[in-house]
């Protein structure tokens, strides 16, 4: 049986939203070409943070996992964050033979669009590129949840598409994980459901001048969550340990000769999630806020039984 | 209305509303280099080198798909020199100036670099920053402005030796090849549309 037309349209719309970040990625390499390592890291840091943190949103909507029986849920969480004023600039150092060496406040990738120009010896100048003036970051991460065997369910995230024509590369999100019901082992009926699980993900975005991925992110999440049903409403909470790495590889001629610059980001953090699900027959609506060093959110729709 | 239709409407409206235009200032780096071959039997010599300035800027813009109209500004960032070939039983210490002048218009040479006590041996394979003189910097920036205004400036760099130690002679000639590079930045405006997924 083919996929229902309405579902295909739904996925296509989600694709549009997922690609929200792709025009940004497609042009980032142009901006980065002016920078070598240290400046590029500062320039990209808000985007790296956003991509890494957003991957850990929307991984669950509750802790109830039946001991046995078929459960299937196709979910479309939108997960992301808002940038703050602190994300708009970073301290950048002059490069490329400019003298004297100066460190100034310059736009990050999400900062103001105007370049910043500083004066140097003998009437020379040095310019730092502008940003894209972006206020938020979000991705849609289509995911399928299937259960359950011995109180265990599995979940996969997958999405792949070419972006803006073949020369810009593709976006691919893949991930898998599992959760296990802990409350099934409680001797008496507990006042809430409790589960624990893990999730692994990999996101690649764009294509650099040498044909490799412009951006590659990997994320691990481990944690436990609890929830309780009140008729159609299900509040949930969870404590997760998240870890992500993000590698950016691009071509730069800022040092005089063309070279491949590779920069890495890495972060580990604990995240507390509070969320609410509204259960309406075959579909659920959910929203959550994630408290960590940087707050993020997720909301979306789930179809299933 | 089905759940899928709700999702469709929300997503379509959402993305439609949040597409925004941006004029983003992007910076391009470029280097213009000229190689000089020095072979002299006297301490005072003059070596000219024509910089293919406008041709190289044309290539830079073409490679990046940019029109001159998109360019906001262009200027000199700095300069380097490096000895690329030197093989001699002893070192030489050189001093002098490098001037720059336009050859496409009537122009007087302006001092771009004053160098003193430069060891040829130490500069072999060693990319070294040059201290630039304001008059030469201004001349190059004027040439960039003229290029952006539609001109086709050509620049002549001239090395004027001010002294060599030990003095070269027919039996002990000064001989090396070196390269001088000027680093330039071009700022251009890219008109683009971004999707700010949730505004903010």
Residue spans of the domains in chain A: they are 5-304
Q: Which residues in chain A touch residue B11, judged by CB atoms under 8 angstroms apart?
A: 13-14, 16-17
Q: Which of residues 261-290 of A touch B (CB under 8 A)?
A: 282-283
pLDDT of the residue at A250:
79
Percent of chain A with pLDDT over 90: 54
Interface contact flag, B3 A303, Cβ < 8 Å: yes
Task: Delimit the domains of chain B by residue range.
Answer: 21-194
Q: Which pLDDT score is estimated for A33?
A: 66
C-alpha distances out from residue B83 to A25, A97, B98, Å: 40, 17, 15
CA dihedral (A287, A157, A182, A190) in degrees, to 10, reads 30
CA dihedral in degrees (A299, A303, B1, B6; nearest 10)?
30
Residue A58's nearest CA partner among A6, A110, A14, A5 is: A14
Q: How many residue pairs bridge chain A and chain B with CB atoms within 8 Å of each other? A: 170
Query: Minimal CA–CA distance to A26: which of A109, A128, A84, A111?
Result: A109
Contact A23 B198 (CB under 8 A): no
pLDDT for residue B1: 34
| pLDDT(A178) > 90 | yes
Angstroms from B11 CA to nearest CA on chain A = 6
Range among A249-253, A300-304, B62-66 rated most confident: A300-304
Q: What pairing do the DSSP bridges indicate for beta strands B71-86 and B128-130? A: antiparallel
Nearest alpha carbon to residue B50 among B117, B100, B125: B100
On whether any CB of chain B is under 8 Å from the CB of A293, the answer is no
Using CB atoms, which residue from A114, A120, A303 is nearest to B25?
A114
Instruction: Give me B34's structure tokens.
Output: 């000229």
- The pLDDT value recorded for residue A29 is 61
**Confidence grade of residue A25 (pLDDT, cut at 50, 70, 90):** low
Say if residue A1's pLDDT is above 50.
no
> Any chain A CB within 8 A of the CB of B132?
yes
Answer whether CATH 2.40.128 is correct for domain A5-304.
Answer: yes
Nearest CA in chain A to B31: A256
pLDDT of residue A169: 61
Packing angle, helices B134-148 and B53-63, rounded to 10? 60
Chain A: nearest CA to B98, how far in angstroms?
15
What tens digit of pLDDT does each residue of B138-166 get? 999 999 999 999 999 999 999 999 999 99
Q: What is the pLDDT of residue A9?
A: 38
- Tell me A98's DSSP state: -
CATH fold of B21-194: Jelly Rolls (2.60.120)
Mean of the pLDDT values across residues B36-47? 95
Q: What is the mean pLDDT of residues B63-78?
A: 92
């Amino acid at each position: 049986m083919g996929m229902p037309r309405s579902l295909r349209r739904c996925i296509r719309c989600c694709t549009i939203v997922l690609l929200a970040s792709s025009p940004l990625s497609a042009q980032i390499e142009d901006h980065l070409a002016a920078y070598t390592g240290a400046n590029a890291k500062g320039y990209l840091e808000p985007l790296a943070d956003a991509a890494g943190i957003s991957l850990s949103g929307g991984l669950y909507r509750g802790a109830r996992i039946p001991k046995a029986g078929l459960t299937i849920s196709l979910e479309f969480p939108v997960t992301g964050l808002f940038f703050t004023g602190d994300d708009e600039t970073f301290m950048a150092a002059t490069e490329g033979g400019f003298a004297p060496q100066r460190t100034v406040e310059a736009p990050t990738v999400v900062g103001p669009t105007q370049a910043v120009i500083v004066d140097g010896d003998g009437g020379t100048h040095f310019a730092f590129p502008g940003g894209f003036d972006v206020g938020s970051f979000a991705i849609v991460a289509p995911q399928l949840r299937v259960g359950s065997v011995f109180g265990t369910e599995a979940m996969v995230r997958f999405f792949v598409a070419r972006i803006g024509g073949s020369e810009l590369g593709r976006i691919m999100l893949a991930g898998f994980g599992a959760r296990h019901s802990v409350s099934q082992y409680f001797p008496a009926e507990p006042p809430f459901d409790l589960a624990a699980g893990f999730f692994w993900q990999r996101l690649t975005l764009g294509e650099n001048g040498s044909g490799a991925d412009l951006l590659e992110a990997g994320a691990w999440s481990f944690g436990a969550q609890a929830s309780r049903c009140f008729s159609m409403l299900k509040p949930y909470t969870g404590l997760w340990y998240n870890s992500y790495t993000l590698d950016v590889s691009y071509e730069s001629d800022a040092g005089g000769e063309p070279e491949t610059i590779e920069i890495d980001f890495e972060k580990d953090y604990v995240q507390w999630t509070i969320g609410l699900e509204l259960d309406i027959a075959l579909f659920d609506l959910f929203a959550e806020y994630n408290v960590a060093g940087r707050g993020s959110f997720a909301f979306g729709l789930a179809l299933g039984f | 209305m089905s759940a899928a239709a709700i999702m469709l409407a929300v997503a379509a409206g959402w993305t439609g509303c949040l597409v925004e235009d941006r004029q983003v200032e992007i910076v391009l780096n470029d280097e213009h280099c000229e190689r000089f071959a020095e072979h002299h039997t006297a301490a005072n010599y003059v070596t000219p080198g024509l910089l293919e300035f406008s041709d190289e800027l044309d290539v830079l813009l073409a490679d990046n798909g940019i029109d001159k109209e998109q360019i906001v500004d262009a200027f000199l960032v700095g300069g380097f020199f490096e000895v690329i070939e030197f093989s001699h039983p002893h070192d030489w210490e050189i001093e002098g100036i490098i001037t720059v002048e336009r050859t496409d218009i009537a122009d007087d040479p302006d001092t771009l670099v004053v160098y003193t006590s430069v060891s040829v041996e130490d500069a072999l394979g060693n990319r070294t920053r040059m201290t630039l003189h304001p008059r030469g910097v201004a001349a190059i920036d004027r040439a960039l402005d003229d290029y952006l205004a539609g001109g086709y400036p050509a620049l002549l760099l001239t090395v004027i030796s001010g002294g060599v130690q030990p003095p070269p002679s027919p039996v002990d000639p000064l001989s090396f090849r070196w390269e001088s590079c000027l680093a330039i930045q071009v700022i251009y405006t890219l008109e683009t549309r971004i999707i700010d997924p949730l505004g903010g």
